[in-house]
Amino acid sequence: MFQSLRKVFQKSDPITSKQEDRATPKQEGQAISKQEWRQTGLSKTVVLPEAAKSLIKEMILANSSQLLRDSSIRRVVVEERLARFLAANSEINVFKGKIEHSIPNTVEWNLDGLKHLAGFSRGDQILRVLLSIDDVAQRLQSLKVLIVGPRIEDELLALVGWGFGPDNVHGLDLISYSPFVDVGDMHDMPYETGTFDIAILSNVVSYSTDQSKAISELLRVSASNSILAVSEACDRRSKDVAQSHFRALFGGDSTSNAIDLTTKEILALFGSAAGHVIFDHPIPDGVEIGSNIVIFRKAG
Ligand SMILES: C[S@@+](CC[C@H](N)C(=O)[O-])C[C@H]1O[C@@H](n2cnc3c(N)ncnc32)[C@H](O)[C@@H]1O
């Protein structure tokens, strides 16, 4: 544990090459400049006094990674690591290939979400279920885990906090500032067939315009009998507001594809590749904000 956390802090080498700041980096494939990040107040979100932050860092290094189980402590670590990255690099790393199968402005939208640490700790819901599965709980250190679309390091650090091996935890995203998160497209993953024992997709499938392609790629990189966990956020209160916001940002597309995937629809995407269903949680009637979550074994 102790060793693991030391690795987390050491694993912080910048992964992007430095480039000139850009005045208006708003097109696909371009990133937000450091100047812009500063202007939008990222540094203001790091509200803890320096003394408190150093104390938390000391505690983590000196004690154990278990502190990362707590989302407020994790938030300090995530903010610190992001701020450290931005101090050393002008831009967040963005996938350089052609983005063919994602809804418009996926990159811009998520760079904005990254900056605000949007959705922080919502991955905990899936993690709590995973930890209650015996063959997961008993083999945490050795299981290879893929998080598709983590956006920030929150989900990855939570896994490490609960005992997964830092070297076995990989993220894949179109954007990254983290050595834990490979830059790539979920429709064409840079991994060998049968690599991962667990794959987690929290609020990412709905970004795809070719979900079957994304799923077949996910199935390719997953080992047999692996565990697949998929969730999609659902906000029944603010659907109209969310849709108009989305339309303004995404130039006319509706959010329906992004927020309405039910657990039945998720399972249908996997078809006969979905084996034993461990957890099927449609957002219950009467709950306004939550997540449709389904966790199941890959068949065969
Ligand atoms: C809404 S965020 C989800 C963040 C986190 N998993 C959560 O649940 O809060 C969706 C993430 O998926 C990533 N993403 C979207 N399309 C992708 C693709 N084709 N390949 C890889 N990542 C993708 C986005 O860049 C973004 O970081």
- CB of 110 shorter than 6 A to ligand 1: yes
Å from CA of 149 to ligand 1 middle: 3
Q: Whose CA is nearest to atom 21 of ligand 1?
A: 173
Q: How confident is the model at residue 59 (pLDDT cuts 50, 70, 90)?
A: confident
Helices 106-115 + 239-250 axis angle, to 10: 120
Give the per-residue pLDDT at 287: 84
Å from CA of 150 to ligand 1 middle: 6
Q: How confident is the model at residue 255 (pLDDT cuts 50, 70, 90)?
A: very low
Task: Classify domain 2-298 at the CATH class level.
Answer: alpha beta
Give the per-residue pLDDT at 177: 96
- CB of 221 shorter than 6 A to ligand 1: no
Å from CA of 102 to ligand 1 middle: 10
Using the predicted structure, report yes or no on whether residue 238 has a pLDDT greater than 80: no
Q: Which atom of ligand 1 is nearest to the CA of 147?
A: 6
Q: Which atom of ligand 1 is nearest to the CA of 187?
A: 19
- CB of 173 shorter than 6 A to ligand 1: yes
Using the predicted structure, report yes or no on whether residue 27 has a pLDDT greater than 70: no
Give the per-residue pLDDT at 237: 64
> What are 74-94's pLDDT values in tens digits?
998 899 889 989 999 889 999
Q: Which atom of ligand 1 is nearest to the CA of 186?
A: 20
Q: Where are the domains of the chain?
A: 2-298
Nearest to 163 by CA among 57, 66, 60, 58: 66
Using the predicted structure, report yes or no on whether residue 244 has a pLDDT greater than 70: no
Give the per-residue pLDDT at 4: 43
Q: How confident is the model at residue 63 (pLDDT cuts 50, 70, 90)?
A: low
- CB of 163 shorter than 6 A to ligand 1: no
CA angle 133, 134, 139 (to 5 degrees): 105
- CB of 149 shorter than 6 A to ligand 1: yes
Q: Which residue has the higher pLDDT, 47 or 99?
A: 99
Give the alpha-carbon dihedral of 41, 97, 255, 158, to 10 degrees. -60
- CB of 150 shorter than 6 A to ligand 1: yes
Give the per-residue pLDDT at 67: 87
Give the per-residue pLDDT at 40: 41
Total-model pTM: 0.81
- The strand pair at 145-148 and 181-183 is best described as unpaired
> What are 115-169's pLDDT values in tens digits?
888 888 999 999 999 999 999 999 999 999 999 999 999 999 999 999 999 999 9
Nearest to 237 by CA among 174, 287, 288: 288
Which range is least confidently modeled, 8-17, 183-192, 224-233, 287-296? 8-17
Using the predicted structure, report yes or no on whether residue 190 has a pLDDT greater than 90: yes
Max Cα-Cα span within the chain: 54
- CB of 203 shorter than 6 A to ligand 1: yes
Å from CA of 183 to ligand 1 middle: 11
Chain mean pLDDT for the chain:
80
Amino acid at 9: F
- CB of 156 shorter than 6 A to ligand 1: no
Give the per-residue pLDDT at 288: 77
Quote the strand ranges of 126-215, DSSP E.
Answer: 145-148, 169-173, 175-176, 181-183, 196-202
Using the predicted structure, report yes or no on whether residue 232 has a pLDDT greater than 70: yes
- CB of 120 shorter than 6 A to ligand 1: no
Give the per-residue pLDDT at 62: 67
Say whether 188 sits in a helix, a strand or coil. strand
Q: Using H for helix, E for strand and C for coil, what is the string for 248-283?
A: HHHCCCCCHHHHCCCHHHHHHHHHHHEEEEEEEECC
Using the predicted structure, report yes or no on whether residue 48 has a pLDDT greater than 80: no
Give the per-residue pLDDT at 220: 98
Using the predicted structure, report yes or no on whether residue 35 has a pLDDT greater than 80: no
Residues of the chain with pLDDT > 70, as a percent, come to: 74
